[in-house]
Amino acid sequence: MMLLTLPGVDLQASLLTPVLRAGETVEGSVELNLDAATAVRGVRAEVFQRELTRASILYRPLVYRMPVPRLSGRTRSGVARTELLAAAQLLPGAATLPAGRQVWHLHLPLPASALATYSGLAVVVEHELLLTIDLADGRRAQRWVPLHLWTASPPLTPPHPVEAGTHRGDLQLRLAVRDDTLDLSQPLRFTWQVANPSEVRLGRLFFELWARETSRHIAATDVSEFRGVRHRLRLA
């Protein structure tokens, strides 16, 4: 999405993938098309991380570091902090570029400490690739590309299976999970067992996965909690 446009200047980005883990590298190419020879001061690529706490959904123009239209049409307000995660000067110095197509390779390693992309009730974490071309006359064109980051790959450790059970009379229900650590980018695998020797008539059987959000994820001074995410799977 173009944030700032200039006539005769078209800035494009092509990524291998917009979904990465922290610690991985943003790979792709940047293409610049000029209608005429143009004096350029620089072309750069930057990856930003934006943390927003005490977020509330508002229907009005969004302003953080600069106006950024969001694809969903819903905007957020709150306490924001923007951090530059990676940057590269594609055209390091001033030059007069000829009319036509210019292509640069994009290689931006991300820090392993980057937060995961997250959109909750009170906490929002966003990531974006921002391409900027500065012309010699002071004008600027920019393109914004949203990114989605997972946390860094955890170290390989043996799985730690866990089990839990409950009963009412001789009706017993047991649930076993392969590992007590859940990677949200991977499927959750579990087994369940019902023992019903008295053949009690059962109504419905559900598996529910709850996610608890707390703004302590970002700011230790804000500890409001919400249980706003639930996934329900009917088993029987």
In DSSP terms, 79 is beta-bridged to 53
150 exposed, middle or buried (CB, 10 Å; 0-12, 13-18, 19+)?
middle
CB of 65 closer than 8 Å to CB of 48: yes
Q: Tens digits of per-residue pLDDT, 144-193? A: 888 998 887 766 677 778 888 888 888 888 888 888 777 766 777 888 88
Q: 178 in the Ramachandran plot: left (φ > 0), alpha (ψ -120 to 50) or beta?
A: alpha
The alpha helices in the chain, defined as continuous H runs, are none
What pLDDT, in 10s, does the model give residues 111-154? 998 988 877 666 778 899 999 999 988 898 888 888 998 887 76
The predicted-structure confidence for 76-125, as pLDDT tens digits, reads as follows 556 677 889 999 999 988 889 999 999 999 999 999 989 888 776 667 78
Question: Which residues have CB under 8 Å from 116's CB, separation 6+?
Answer: 22, 125, 149, 150, 151
**Dihedral pair phi/psi, residue 31, rounded to 5°:** -120, 130
Domains of the chain by range and CATH?
2-150 (2.60.40.640), 162-234 (no CATH)
63-74 pLDDT, tens digit per residue, is 333 334 443 334
CA–CA distance, 66 with 87 (Å, rounded to integer): 18
Does pLDDT of 223 surpass 50?
A: no
The pLDDT assigned to 52 comes to: 74
- Residues 21, 152: contact at Cβ < 8 Å? yes
The pLDDT value recorded for residue 130 is 92
pTM value > 0.85: no
